[in-house]
Amino acid sequence: MDSQDEIPFHFVTPLKESSALSKKAGTPVLIKLENIQPMGSFKIRGIGHFCQKLARKGCKKFVCSSGGNAGLAAAYACNKLGMPATIVVPEQTSNKVIQKLADLGAEVVVTGKVWDDADANARHLSETPGSVYISPFDHPLLWEGHSSLVLELKAALGTQKPGALVLSVGGGGFLAGIVEGIAKVGWSDVPIIAMETLGAHCLNASLAAGKSVTLPDITSIAKCLGAKTVCDRALECAKKYKVISVTVDDREAVQALEMFLEDELMLVEAACGAALAAVYSGHIQRLQQEGKLEQLKGPLIMIVCGGSGISLSELQNYKSQFGLL
Ligand SMILES: Cc1ncc(COP(=O)(O)O)c(C=O)c1O
């Protein structure tokens, strides 16, 4: 076995008590700090695992479509493996992210308005022999890689079970991976609060319709949650496990990321603000009052998924956009 295959590219991240979030939620909250992963998000867990496995099978080049963070993870993994990467991003991707991708040695191709447009081109570009397409969220190896997060939670918590997990949903790969993890460690009865922003709420819309729904457009600022259609596996997980789907608006996501910056001195993007808003906007207490979430028997685990699509000046812009100055 190649040594690169033995050592995963992701870190084991800290699980830290947050007194500020605990106070706001009225229950102990532990934050799982995926924002400190290489390239700033949990994405490296699944994508790193995918690339290592495929590289071992003789793949010569990777092509990934991305709203940002998946592409950064793919470029990082390929850089570590010494393999070429093409990352196809939509037009709204910031120059900062494009520069980071280029700095990692990736070829960057800009295609279309939203991620779905970029994805169609990535699939096309990967049709050359030796190339492999990386979906940012829809592949069993990605889910297996993401499930490592739950194994870490289990190692950190020992016999204590989480009361609930909170995460953000885009195309649903993270949700699918976390569900795989909870099934592996015997936590299948732990509720998962699946957060989306309105305008990128493909899981919520599909659950409401009882079938897979494609959103007409992505209107949320949380572009990394901006898949128009959630992957089938995530929808299956949401139906089979205790998944509670909640939407917040962009303003709540921005407010949450700003409060998190104040409380924990860490800056994360709006995609992560959606998860943080579960506590900061009072959705946990609301769900309990409405009888949709049981009284928690263990700590609430807030997965701080991270994200590179943010800067202090972008936060200022969001604040002025949503009247938060
Ligand atoms: C920071 C961040 N959080 C959450 C998500 C959602 O992950 P998924 O698309 O697997 O649902 C993404 C997706 O890119 C992301 O970048």
Query: pLDDT tens digits, residue range 242-289?
Result: 999 999 999 999 999 999 999 999 999 999 999 999 999 999 999 999
For the chain, percent of residues with pLDDT exceeding 90: 95
What the chain holds in terms of domains, given with CATH numbers, is: 3-42+141-321 (3.40.50.1100), 43-138 (3.40.50.1100)
Atom of ligand 1 nearest to the CA of 168: 4
Atom of ligand 1 nearest to the CA of 66: 14
pLDDT at 2: 45
Task: Give the mean pLDDT of 99-113.
Answer: 96
Q: Ligand 1 centroid vs 169 CA: distance in angstroms?
A: 6
Protein residue closest via CA to atom 1 of ligand 1:
307
Report how far residue 2's alpha carbon sits from residue 308's, in angstroms, rounded to the nearest whole number. Answer: 30
DSSP 168-199: E-SSSHHHHHHHHHHHHTT-TTS-EEEEEETT
Atom of ligand 1 nearest to the CA of 175: 11
User: What are the tokens at 101?
Assistant: 């991708």
Of 4-18, 134-148, 178-192, 273-287, minimum mean pLDDT range? 4-18
For the Cβ of 69 lying below 6 angstroms from any atom of ligand 1, the answer is yes
User: What are the tokens at 70?
Assistant: 């998946």
Report how far residue 160's alpha carbon sits from residue 146's, in angstroms, rounded to the nearest whole number. Answer: 21
pLDDT at 108: 97
Four-CA torsion 291, 179, 221, 78, nearest 10 degrees: 170
Atom of ligand 1 nearest to the CA of 169: 11
65 neighbors 118 (Cβ within 8 angstroms):
yes
Instruction: Reply yes or no on whether the pLDDT at 3 is more than 50.
Output: no
Confidence of residue 67 (pLDDT cuts 50, 70, 90): confident
For the Cβ of 165 lying below 6 angstroms from any atom of ligand 1, the answer is no
Please tell me the pTM assigned to this model.
0.97
Instruction: Reply yes or no on whether the pLDDT at 4 is more than 70.
Output: no
Tell me the pLDDT tens digit for each residue of 197-213.
Answer: 999 999 999 999 999 99
Vertex 42: Cα angle to 4 and 256 (nearest 5): 160
Q: Ligand 1 centroid vs 299 CA: distance in angstroms?
A: 23
pLDDT at 1: 40
